[in-house]
Structure 1
Amino acid sequence: MTPPNGPSAAVLKLLGAMRGDRQDPDTERGQALVRLIIVGIVALYIIFEVLAARMPLNRAGLALLAYMGFSVIFSVSVYLAILRAPGPNHPRRWLGMAHDYIGITFTMAIGGKILLPVYSVLLWVTVGNGLRYGPNYLAAATCLALLSLSASAYISPYWRENPYLVATLVVTAIIVPAYAYLLLTQIRQARDEAAAANRAKSSLLAQASHDLRQPVHAISLFTACLRDSNLAAEERKMVDNIDKSLQSVSRLFRSLLDVSTLDSGRVTPRMEVVAIGEVLDDVIRLNSEAARWANVTLQSVATEAFVRIDPILIATMVQNVVSNALKYARGRPVLIGCRRRGASLAIEVHDRGQGISERHLPKVFDEFYRAGDQGMDGVGLGLSIVKRLADLMRLEISIESRPGRGTVVKIAGLEMVKTDHHRASPNRSRPLTMLDGLRVVLIDDDKDVLLATATLLEKWGCMVQPETSMPSADTSCDLIVTDFELDGGRTGLQCIDFLRRSNGRWIPAVIMTGHDIKIVIEALSGEDIPILSKPVRPAELRSAVMAQKLNAKGGGLSASNLANP
């Protein structure tokens, strides 16, 4: 589900307040802003009535004008105080409500029939303060409204002369808040039921995605093993076709898991300084095989810019855009580059594909919407995920396209950072070496995945010890490759910690998971362990294993003693 916008969003905010969720800093600010506007309108109304000679400028009139001046100053002060210190503040709320009801009582009692329209402000104060801040405030506001009406009727001769008018206003002051509360309670109940159904859907989607990823992951690794065998040209072509189909399924699973994770509300950007050129190079490297299948020349324009961004989320955004370009620009070049826009940076993906007609452009970021050839794979989730991640990180996403000329997708608003420290990835500057003799403990509770991964690692020259659960304390190894969630409630991180303690040294590790990577990152608590999302491409796995071998540190480990245990 996408976040609501417009009036429905305001209703949902009120519902959030009614069920006790008072963490939204906009709640008090919005109430204070409306108070300021209404006080200004009432002040102008009184001045107009004085100028029109319908309200005498006697002692009562001067008192009203003086009080309205005070109200303007008070309302501005409260608004500025909220801007300086946003968030829930109960004394400030009660002070504002006290000011509102005292002012309304004074104005209606002194102004008589001329200021009877101020009664509408009393209804606003009752409903507005009550529904914004919760049912307790609503009950208190209704009581204060009745006290205000009683005081006005006692003080004002006009009100005492019109008891039926007073009775009507009192009944209205009771019925309107009660009816509004009843309606919003029903809406809240419907909203809670919808939210529960959405959570159940997201949970089912995530679990189904994880369970289906496991066999696809195993098939992908078995396919890689076949590719390394001595196959004839025809058999190799069949393996290629299987691999293409698997990559399509893999992209679908990634999209489904991204959607379920976004729906759950668990995604929180972790901003850090990133060399954006490295992120783009990673995307190109991961899509090199898909680009070869699509006969696409995939290139990037080199950049040394650094930005403050969540590297995982921005990589997901660019990956989804590039995947779309590869599907709709077969046989054509695709270029990824960056463009400076003042103090910010924009990532642009250009392709020379078939383009998108103008009537489709407003809808391309909608979920399940697909423009162009319906024979293409995918279900139309890629760009909707890009849009939702852009909103999450306050980036701007736009698309320009001309049929027959190509498409440009722009991700703008990345904050540029000046830094002299360029952290180049070692695996990019060092040549890949063979993995012969590398002792690997492989842990996965899925036997098919365990067999497929072990077979592939052994083909690369590794000595593999497969385990379906926690290894024994006397296990010695040079590298740990493990699933994150294992049977019995254990995790791969616990296995890594156990093996490091039992060996008395730091051992490099790689984690593979079919769940949300963000959860794994939080569990690692800053631990520098590569995380691969299933289904893992063989090239990704080999790159991660090689990088851990080359980057081995601590416990006296080095690349040389890893290769020769």
Structure 2
Amino acid sequence: MDLDKNNELDQANLRVIVACCALAYITMLGFLPGRSHAPHLPIIYYIAIFIVVSIGLRQAIAHWPGHYPWRRVLGMVHDYTGTCFGLVVGGDAALPIYAVMVWVNLGNGMRFGSRYLAIATVLALAALLVVYQITPYWQANPFMVLMLLTTSTVIPIYAHLLLERTRKASELAAAANREKSRFLAQASHDLRQPIHSIGLFTACLRDAPLGEQERRLVDSIDRSLLNVSQLFRSILDLYTLDNGRAQPRYEVFALDAFLADLLQQNSEAARWAGVTIRLRPCRHWTRADRGMLATMVQNVLSNSFKYAAHRPLLLGVRRCAEGLAIVIYDQGRGIDEAHQRLVFEEFYRVRQVRDTDVEGVGLGLSIVRRLGRLMGLEVKLRSRPGHGTAVSLQGLPRLCAQPAQVPVDRAHAAPGLLGGLRVCLVEDDHNVLRATTALLQRWGCEVDAHSSPVGLSSDCEVIVADYDLGREATGVDCIDQLRAQRGWDVPALIMTGHDTEKIQAVVHERNIAVLSKPVRPAELRAALRALREETAAPAN
């Protein structure tokens, strides 16, 4: 509907412009040597009236938008009537006005489709025959008339062929895009599961009593898996942004706790890179999409780990005008000025002579900038070769201090002290089920594991479920069932390999946390801490 409205309004606007050009042309003829305005006055008056009527028609289209075939045909008749009048009265001097007929033909066809192209062509041929019948000049030049008739037929036929090819190409492109979306969605889910389970198994190995050589091997596996996981997430982030499906979901949170959580999640990656991170404490609160902002900071940190390895890194928040800016400053080799704008382009990587190979495909900073635009943040980069690089995410709103939060029980917050937490785990992938069960048990949890939602029952304190559990039920159904059995809203977590936006829409107002696979052990541990605090809150 909007497309039809815009097309018809555009055609009406162009009609007024073309009529004004025709009026200017006829007026200029009177200034040529040996000519006067007197023979052309009727055309000038008619075109002036034509412009007034065209403006009225344009206003009607703007006021009553929509698809009205009779109005479009009326517009064609209006155009051809004015053109015929000019051709009849103007004689040979008005022949250039024939170009208006071609415009009406092609304009209606290109804007409204082949059906209107055919209607416009029939009307144009009828108009030319009428002019031929009543104009002596045309009757004296039959070959000219034949040329005009041929042109008025051949051009629309060729335009029709182009329109058909364009339509078929558009349909094929749309079908290919749908197939690509389905493939990526399925491949995304199928790839997330093994990456997720490998990460959990590796975390179990890390906690096992291993020798030095075995521990180094586990480190290598974990490091390689992290690189694959980051690349995988970058590609999915880019795909989501290209589809226009990513929309910010704003919430108010403390930046100090937000950045501390990010540092905890990246502690292993920082250790592998030999980077010591110093976080400057702050008391600022802001409003933003927590997930998008975390992805932005995460990507900048990953770049620092790659290009400023074995160097210290400073992370902090500073005031910037009326808002706040998150600043990540490393002491790496820096970026030459020639590269500083290009690093935000997709797939661009700064490579130098004898440069060591660095993992990644050059998507991190382009995703940072695109996410920043979605949230209205400005991403700035300052760098001096040999002195390091500073990336700042500017434009975060600075909010008034929020009420002090209840202190976290450090016994529960410690990595290995989730002891005694009763977890009901529902997962239909056996590898993921085994890996998650083993990891939770190493953290001290009592795990009630289920591979099917059928006959589900548990006296758990926390529910952890996959979303897609086959045809019987979803993870949300399992959570609703267990909550109904227990008689209270048991804290719950969904871990999914599907589009998290859709899952979050499903769990809206259900108080269910959502994590996107592959879930890193640190993310899962932090989520379990938060859920355990929820179980402790009613008792307090």
Provide the residue aligned with 2:358 in structure 1.
376
Q: Compute the displacement of 1:362 (Å).
A: 5.9
The answer to whether 1:537 aligns with 2:520 is yes
Q: Of 232, 236, 250, which aligns to 1:272? A: 250
Q: Compute the displacement of 1:332 (Å).
A: 4.3
Cα deviation digits, residues 61-114 of structure 1 (max 9, x gap): 4413522541674477468x37xx888676775665554444434444443333
Q: Tell me the SS of whatever aligns to 2:460.
A: coil
Provide the residue aligned with 1:4 in structure 2.
none
Provide the residue aligned with 1:10 in structure 2.
none
The answer to whether 1:223 aligns with 2:202 is yes
Q: 1:284 to 1:486 in 2, by over 3 A?
A: same
Would the aligned equivalents of 2:454 and 2:472 in 1 still touch at CA under 8 Å?
Answer: no
Q: 1:158 to 1:322 in 2, by over 3 A?
A: farther
Q: Compute the displacement of 1:544 (Å).
A: 0.8
Q: Of 451, 455, 464, which aligns to 1:481? A: 464
The answer to whether 1:333 aligns with 2:333 is no
d(CA) in 2 for partners of 1:35, 1:339: 54
Q: Compute the displacement of 1:547 (Å).
A: 0.9
Q: Compute the displacement of 1:548 (Å).
A: 1.7
Provide the residue aligned with 2:48 in structure 1.
66
Q: Of 291, 300, 305, which aligns to 1:321? A: 300
**How many aligned residue pairs are there?**
528
Q: Of 109, 112, 127, which aligns to 1:133? A: 112
Q: Tell me the SS of whatever aligns to 2:447.
A: strand
Cα deviation digits, residues 156-178 of structure 1 (max 9, x gap): 55444433323322322222122
Q: 1:560 to 1:525 in 2, by over 3 A?
A: closer
Provide the residue aligned with 2:485 in structure 1.
502
d(CA) in 2 for partners of 1:30, 1:325: 50
Cα deviation digits, residues 341-399 of structure 1 (max 9, x gap): 78x88766554433444555565445444332461112333344445556767876675
Residue range with higher mean Cα deviation, 362-371 or 174-183: 362-371
Would the aligned equivalents of 1:36 and 1:75 in 2 still touch at CA under 8 Å?
Answer: no
Q: 1:75 to 1:518 in 2, by over 3 A?
A: same
Q: Of 164, 174, 178, which aligns to 1:185? A: 164
Provide the residue aligned with 1:42 in structure 2.
22
Gaps of 5+ in 2: none
Would the aligned equivalents of 1:444 and 1:468 in 2 still touch at CA under 8 Å?
Answer: yes
Q: Compute the displacement of 1:478 (Å).
A: 1.4
Q: Of 157, 169, 184, which aligns to 2:148? A: 169
d(CA) in 1 for partners of 2:402, 2:69: 48
Q: 1:93 to 1:22 in 2, by over 3 A?
A: farther
% same residue: 44
| Matches for 1:231-250 after TM superposition, within 5 Å | 231-250=210-229
Q: Tell me the SS of whatever aligns to 2:471.
A: helix
Would the aligned equivalents of 1:23 and 1:88 in 2 still touch at CA under 8 Å?
Answer: no
Q: Tell me the SS of whatever aligns to 1:461.
A: coil
Q: Compute the displacement of 1:468 (Å).
A: 0.9
Q: Of 37, 45, 51, which aligns to 1:56? A: 37
| Matches for 1:281-292 after TM superposition, within 5 Å | 283-292=262-271
Q: Tell me the SS of whatever aligns to 2:350.
A: coil
* Equivalent AA in structure 2 for residue 49 of structure 1: L
Would the aligned equivalents of 2:27 and 2:37 in 1 still touch at CA under 8 Å?
Answer: no
Provide the residue aligned with 1:467 in structure 2.
450
Provide the residue aligned with 1:448 in structure 2.
431
Q: 1:70 to 1:495 in 2, by over 3 A?
A: same
Q: Tell me the SS of whatever aligns to 1:512.
A: strand
Q: Compute the displacement of 1:217 (Å).
A: 1.6
The answer to whether 1:523 aligns with 2:506 is yes
d(CA) in 1 for partners of 2:451, 2:510: 23
* Equivalent AA in structure 1 for residue 487 of structure 2: G
Q: Tell me the SS of whatever aligns to 1:498.
A: helix
Q: 1:311 to 1:28 in 2, by over 3 A?
A: farther
d(CA) in 1 for partners of 2:437, 2:399: 42
Residue range with higher mean Cα deviation, 365-374 or 179-188: 365-374
d(CA) in 1 for partners of 2:307, 2:349: 11
Q: Compute the displacement of 1:443 (Å).
A: 0.9
Q: Compute the displacement of 1:453 (Å).
A: 0.9
